[in-house]
Each structure stands twice: as C-alpha cells, then as structure tokens.
C-alpha cells in the first residue's frame, strides 16, 4: 500500500520527482507506514527517522502534514510554502493545496479538524478552520476563510467564505 500511494502521489504531481510537494508526500506516507509497525520497540528507529525527515521537509519546503493526518490518494501540493495541515484533519482523494493553506482548528484543544471531500481545490492563502465538512468537488478561492460547512459541487470565496455558485 505504501508504494501504491506514493505512485499515485507521483502521478498527481505529473511525474515530477523534484516537486517539493511530492517530497512532503513521501515523508507523510513513510510516517503512516511506520505507525503500523509492531512491536513499538521495532518501530522506534523508523519513528526517529520519520521525525528527522519530517523536520527536514518542514524546513526545506514549508509544508507540514503530520503522519496522524488522514489523507486520501493523489494529494496535489501545487505550490509549496506555508502549508499547515492539522493532525486531526481528514482529506479526501485528489485534493489540491496551494501555498499558504492552513487546515486546522478554530480553538486550542479541539480534537476534531476539518473533513474535506474528494476533488477539493483550495486556493492560495485559504484557511479552513474548525470541525467542519467540505463536500466533494468544492473550489475554495484564494485567501478565503472557511468556518462553516460547504455543500458538494460549489465555489466559495471571501472572509468569511460564502458560496457564490453551484455547479
């Protein structure tokens, strides 16, 4: 499953091995894989290696996707830099992120993050905050701040984001 997911991520990055978003996805997939190793004593060296790689990718690319985040196949990080995804978020298949996107909590201590459907396209600088649901095939405009649920097949823009069209 690890290599199949990496293959799908490479395909979503159009085969560009040197895309920094692809590097972040390799480290993320490795982190998810190492979490399944039992017993914990055997997992320890892999966890240590993951944490070093995670910090390296975070410094070099500005992308932070913890291994506890649930990410579907084919995540596309279109432009790197300033991308932060909460470990409580859930991202569907074929989601696109651009620079400056934050997917996280509204308040400290929240243990439920945003849930994004399949095919969600998020513009640069957008913020998706709180325990909300974003439907399938939603387009979120640049610098939008989404704090309420969005239905499938719509476009949302503004601060706070509002639906401007249904497709």
Structurally, the chain folds into a number of domains equal to 1
What 3-state DSSP class applies to 11? helix
Residues in the chain: 167
What pLDDT is stored for residue 103 in this prediction? 97
Q: What CATH number corresponds to the domain at position 155? A: 2.160.10.10
The overall average pLDDT reported for the chain is 93
pLDDT score of 87: 93
Paired with 9 in beta bridges are: none
Residue 77 lies in domain: 2-166
**pLDDT confidence tier of residue 32, bands split at 50, 70 and 90:** very high
Q: With 80 as the cut, is the pLDDT of residue 167 above it?
A: no
In tens, the pLDDT along 77-129 reads 988 889 999 999 999 999 999 999 999 998 888 889 999 999 999 999 999 99
């Amino acid at each position: 499953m690890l290599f199949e997911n990496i293959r799908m991520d490479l395909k979503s990055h159009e085969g560009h091995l040197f895309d920094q978003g692809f590097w972040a996805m390799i480290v993320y997939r490795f982190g998810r894989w190492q979490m399944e190793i039992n017993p914990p004593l055997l997992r320890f060296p892999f966890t240590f290696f993951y944490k070093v790689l995670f910090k390296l990718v975070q410094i070099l690319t500005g992308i932070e996707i913890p291994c506890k985040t649930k990410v579907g196949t084919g995540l596309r990080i279109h432009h790197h830099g300033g991308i932060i995804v909460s470990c409580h978020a859930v991202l569907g298949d074929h989601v696109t992120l651009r620079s400056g996107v934050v997917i996280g909590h509204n308040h400290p201590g929240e243990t439920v993050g945003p849930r994004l459907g399949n095919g969600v396209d998020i513009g640069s600088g957008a913020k998706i905050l709180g325990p909300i649901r974003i439907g399938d095939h939603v387009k979120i405009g640049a610098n939008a701040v989404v704090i309420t649920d969005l239905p499938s097949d719509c476009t949302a823009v503004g601060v706070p984001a509002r639906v401007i069209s249904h497709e």
